[in-house]
Amino acid sequence: MLLGVHVSISGSIDNAVDRAVKLGCTTFQIFTRNPRGWTYKKLGKKEVDNFREKCKEHGYEVAMAHMPYLPNIASPKKLIYNKSVKSLITELERSGALGLKYLVCHVGSHLGAGIDAGIQKVAEACNTALSKIDNDTILLLENMAGQRNSCGSSFEDLRRILDKIEYPDRVGICLDTCHLFAAGYDIRSPESVEKTLEEFDNIVGLKRLYAVHLNDSKGSLKSGLDRHEHIGQGEIGEKGFQAFINHKAVRDKPMILETPEDKRGNFETNLKKVRSLYK
């Protein structure tokens, strides 16, 4: 089972590998830099070498990065859009240098410009970045939670974006379970999981599903709320997660937890819960 969490790079980026090992992860996700700002420092050769050596030593063939919080590749605002595309280019380059298999990017918000305009912006951003950076890292678009003005909350949106990508072999989808549920796709039972994944296959194609973010949802079905909850303690529940992670279309995919850390639980307890549900 390829199961892991989003680990901190605090201290040095290679420390993330140590943290993943300590938790017993078989895959993991990181930010390659501080996710709350636009500025960053270049990766040093030593830290890149240490990161790659540790990944090799502990057998991490599949690990991924996540884009920082600020970029919005669907934005109609020229300044933000240009900075977002530049950030996407940089993160693709950094992910490739670190030997990461995937880079996850939120599809973003069109901010009222309309879904058609947003989809076009997202596709253009991906095409620009992929034309600038030629490496082995695959860009994964993450489905949104159905928030107002969001792009990529529906399977149809994701399909339309993928159809505009000029590098189809270098772009796929990362499905977030909380976002999926909040956007209106039921995954609370074996029957609903089967129906939702069949719908995804018919519209997007399961061959485009490369990774999964495992998060329960504080919000109800079709709430549009992107609020993660501990596995089994939210609206999706244990029954839904057991059906989802054991589905033939999902069970071999890398699964990353982005669950809360509070007095009710942490990454360790959530990892334990998911492992207990995996057959």
- pLDDT, one tens digit per residue, over 142-189 is 999 999 999 999 999 999 999 999 999 999 999 999 999 999 999 999
229 carries an active-site annotation: no
Catalytic residue among 142, 157, 216, 229: 142
156 carries an active-site annotation: no
To 10 degrees, the CA torsion angle through 19, 50, 95, 212?
-30
DSSP string, 185-232: ---SSHHHHHHHHHHHHHHT-GGGEEEEEE-EESSPTT-----EE-TT
DSSP type of residue 238: H
Catalytic residue among 226, 229, 230, 235: 226
228 carries an active-site annotation: yes
Question: d(Cα 3, Cα 270) in Å, to the nearest integer?
Answer: 11
pLDDT at 71: 98
Percent of the chain whose pLDDT exceeds 70: 100
258 carries an active-site annotation: yes
Catalytic residue among 33, 66, 94, 110: 66
Q: How confident is the model at residue 197 (pLDDT cuts 50, 70, 90)?
A: very high
Question: d(Cα 66, Cα 1) in Å, to the nearest integer?
Answer: 21
Q: How confident is the model at residue 99 (pLDDT cuts 50, 70, 90)?
A: very high
pLDDT at 248: 97
Average pLDDT score, the chain: 98
Sequence spans of domains, the chain: 3-277
Catalytic residue among 19, 179, 188, 230: 179
Catalytic residue among 91, 93, 157, 176: 176
pLDDT at 262: 96
Which helix (H) or strand (E) segment is 153 a member of?
none
Catalytic residue among 49, 53, 69, 163: 69
pLDDT at 59: 97
* Residue 39 burial (10 A CB sphere; 0-12, 13-18, 19+): exposed
Phi, psi at 205, each rounded to 5°: 105, 120
pLDDT at 85: 98
208 carries an active-site annotation: no
Q: Each residue of 94-124: b (16+ CB within 10 Å) or e?
A: bbbbbbbbbbbbbbbbbbebebebbbbbbbe
User: pTM above the 0.85 mark?
Assistant: yes
6 carries an active-site annotation: no
pLDDT at 34: 94
- When pLDDT is averaged across residues 89-97 and rounded to a whole number, the result is 98
Would you say 84 and 72 are in contact if contact means Cβ atoms under 8 Å apart? Answer: yes
213 carries an active-site annotation: yes
Catalytic residue among 6, 160, 213, 230: 213
pLDDT at 21: 98
Question: d(Cα 44, Cα 111) in Å, to the nearest integer?
Answer: 37
Question: d(Cα 242, Cα 251) in Å, to the nearest integer?
Answer: 10
Catalytic residue among 201, 251, 258, 278: 258
142 carries an active-site annotation: yes
Query: For domain 3-277, is the CATH number 2.70.98.10?
Result: no
36 carries an active-site annotation: yes
